[in-house]
């Protein structure tokens, strides 16, 4: 006789057949509460019939700060969390599947929208994978690689500002978020100047980047750097000097040690907050990171405050890399930013003007009035795309949240046979229950914020 489980059921039984989480040989436990979806009135009514003090709290689905729509099912004994389960999928976009129906170049405009706080890292990981399949990794212009590093490190600062700001907002410290977002807007102005967009850029393409730095970009980038050097320390001062902020994060809140991180595959700041200096920019360098001078930030607190400290100090290391990239780009004026292969370099000769981003007037004049062959080639490249030899590649990068990797598979056509991403938010989020069980209800949102998940990456 089999037992059928329904989403709206709450089960109260100690037998193996009625407990979907119990394995053969596991010891018998007390009441089992199993609540996933269903009518909340039925759940409350069933719980009221129990004879114990355990209650089930449905935290979500909601959009706390800017993390995304997440549901957490909590079992509470008073204000102590005795169990937690994560409900995801409320932000599902089908981006990975959609990429199978677009050309290799068009895939960038889709994957950049997964984790909307780290668009450049998705673009870089995906582009590096395609370039590996094409066999052109060594042909990427140095200026394009340097621009990729510049954009990624500016994006890292943006992400950490949002992570720290929303952590403060979770606790009601709105000023932390408003100050963090002020610095974020300064960086966004520069990203808009370079790419034409403030988010979801689609700027880093297989073969290089979409277009060169606009005229006058270097002085403006230096002004941005000077502003950040002056104002970024305010974030630390605002948080570290606030005893309430410290008390809400420190002393084991959201505790997750090295053993837990390794067992659950957790990477990024939560892993480095256990004292280990695992950073792919150092351990498995890409985009020439081995040529930049920066420190890998660690802390051994293993709690929410340690993860905040890692992000706080990583912003200054990212700024160090930004300054070095600006110095290098200043000496590369006029150099190529796209691989010198007309069968791959798509789109051709973009420019950024007051009306946004599009092909330069010179390129339009050439293909429309001077060369029929150039027009045909441009048309086929844009509509049909370039072919990628059969094979598969996985290229990980160190995103602000941890290891982000694009696994791209080609069957020899002009579209990805498969594109799948190892999103760090998805992997790190499974540590949420381990961090909150045994803690207080008031610490649940703080612990989640310290993981810095973005559900756009989780639900891709």
Q: pLDDT band at residue 4, thresholds of 50, 70 and 90?
A: very low
CB distance 339 to 137 below 8 Å = no
Question: Going along 131-218, which residue ranges are E strands?
Answer: 204-205, 208-209
CB distance 8 to 42 below 8 Å = yes
d(CA 73, CA 66): 20
CB distance 81 to 437 below 8 Å = yes
Q: pLDDT band at residue 290, thresholds of 50, 70 and 90?
A: very high
d(CA 71, CA 93): 17
Q: What are the distances in angstroms from CA 457 to CA 39, 69, 75, 104, 400? A: 28, 11, 27, 20, 13
Give residue 74's Cα distance to chain centre.
26
Sheet-wide strand order for 418-422: 391-399, 402-410, 418-422
Q: pLDDT band at residue 8, thresholds of 50, 70 and 90?
A: very low
Does residue 265 or residue 460 have the better pLDDT? 265
pLDDT value at residue 9: 41
CB distance 413 to 120 below 8 Å = no
Task: Please name the residues in contact with 157: beta carbons below 8 A apart, sequence gap of 6 or more.
Answer: 183, 187, 228, 232, 315, 318, 319, 322
Does residue 364 or residue 212 have the better pLDDT? 212
Mean pLDDT of the chain: 84
Reduced to 3 states (helix: H, G, I; strand: E, B; else coil), residue 197 is: coil
Q: pLDDT band at residue 92, thresholds of 50, 70 and 90?
A: confident
d(CA 390, CA 417): 9
Pseudo-torsion of CA 282, 428, 307, 225, nearest 10°? Answer: 60
Instruction: Encode pLDDT of 132-182 as tens digits.
Output: 999 999 999 999 999 999 999 999 999 999 999 888 877 877 888 888 889
pLDDT value at residue 51: 60
- Give the end-to-end CA distance of the chain in Å, rounded to a whole number: 39
CB distance 393 to 416 below 8 Å = no
Taken in order of first residue, the domains within the chain and their CATH numbers are 16-87 (no CATH), 95-346+385-458 (1.10.645.10)
d(CA 81, CA 253): 13
Does residue 327 or residue 166 have the better pLDDT? 327
Query: Whole-model pTM?
Result: 0.84
pLDDT value at residue 297: 93
d(CA 18, CA 3): 7
Q: pLDDT band at residue 343, thresholds of 50, 70 and 90?
A: confident
Nearest residue to 305 via CA among 371, 376, 250: 250
| Residue 357 pLDDT exceeds 70 | no
> Residue 403: which H helix or E strand, with range?
strand 402-410
Does residue 292 or residue 371 have the better pLDDT? 292
Question: Which range, of 12-21, 203-212, 328-337, averages the lowest pLDDT?
Answer: 12-21
**Tokens of residue 181, six digits:** 């977002």
| Residue 298 pLDDT exceeds 60 | yes
pLDDT value at residue 457: 86
Task: Please name the residues in contact with 342: beta carbons below 8 A apart, sequence gap of 6 or more.
Answer: 348, 377, 381
Question: Going along 177-311, which residue ranges are E strands?
Answer: 204-205, 208-209
């Amino acid at each position: 006789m089999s037992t059928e489980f329904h989403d709206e059921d709450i089960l109260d039984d100690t037998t193996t057949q009625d407990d979907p989480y119990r394995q053969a040989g596991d010891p018998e436990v007390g009441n089992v509460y199993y609540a996933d979806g269903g009518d909340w009135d039925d759940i409350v009514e069933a719980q009221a019939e129990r004879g114990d003090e355990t209650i089930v709290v449905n935290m979500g689905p909601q959009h706390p700060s800017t993390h995304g729509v997440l549901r957490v099912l909590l079992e509470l004994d008073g204000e102590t969390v005795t169990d937690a389960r994560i409900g995801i999928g409320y932000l599902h976009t089908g981006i990975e599947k959609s990429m199978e129906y677009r050309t290799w170049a068009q895939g960038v405009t889709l994957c950049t929208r997964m984790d909307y706080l780290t668009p450049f890292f998705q673009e870089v990981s995906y582009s590096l994978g395609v370039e590996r399949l094409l066999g052109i990794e060594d042909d990427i212009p140095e200026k394009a690689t340097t621009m990729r590093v510049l954009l990624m490190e500016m994006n890292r600062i943006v992400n950490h500002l949002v992570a720290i700001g929303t952590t403060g907002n979770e606790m009601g410290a709105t000023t932390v978020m408003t100050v963090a977002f002020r610095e974020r807007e300064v960086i966004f102005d520069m990203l808009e100047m370079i790419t034409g967009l403030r988010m979801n850029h689609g700027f880093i393409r297989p073969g290089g980047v979409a277009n060169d730095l606009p005229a006058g970009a270097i002085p403006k980038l230096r002004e941005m750097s000077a502003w950040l050097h002056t104002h970024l320390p305010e974030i630390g001062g605002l948080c570290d000097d606030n005893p309430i902020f410290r008390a809400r994060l420190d002393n084991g809140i959201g505790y997750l040690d090295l053993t837990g991180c390794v067992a659950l595959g957790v990477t990024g700041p939560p892993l480095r907050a256990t004292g280990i200096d695992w950073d792919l920019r150092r351990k498995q360098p890409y985009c020439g990171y081995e040529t930049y001078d920066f420190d890998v930030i660690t802390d051994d607190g293993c709690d929410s405050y340690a993860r905040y400290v890692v992000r706080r100090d990583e912003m200054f290391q990212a700024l160090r890399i930004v300054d070095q990239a600006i110095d290098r780009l200043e000496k590369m004026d006029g150099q190529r930013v796209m691989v010198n292969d007309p069968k791959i370099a798509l789109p051709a000769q973009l420019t950024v003007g007051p009306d946004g981003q599009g092909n330069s007037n010179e390129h339009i004049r050439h293909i429309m009035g001077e060369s029929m062959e150039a027009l045909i080639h441009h048309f086929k490249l844009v509509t049909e795309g370039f072919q990628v030899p059969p094979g598969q590649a996985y290229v990980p990068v160190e995103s602000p949240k941890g290891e982000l990797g694009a696994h791209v598979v080609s069957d020899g056509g002009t579209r990805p046979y498969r594109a799948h991403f190892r999103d760090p938010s998805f992997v790190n989020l499974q540590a949420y229950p381990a961090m909150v069980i045994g803690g207080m209800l008031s610490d649940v949102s703080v612990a989640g914020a310290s993981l810095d998940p973005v559900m756009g990456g989780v639900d891709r």
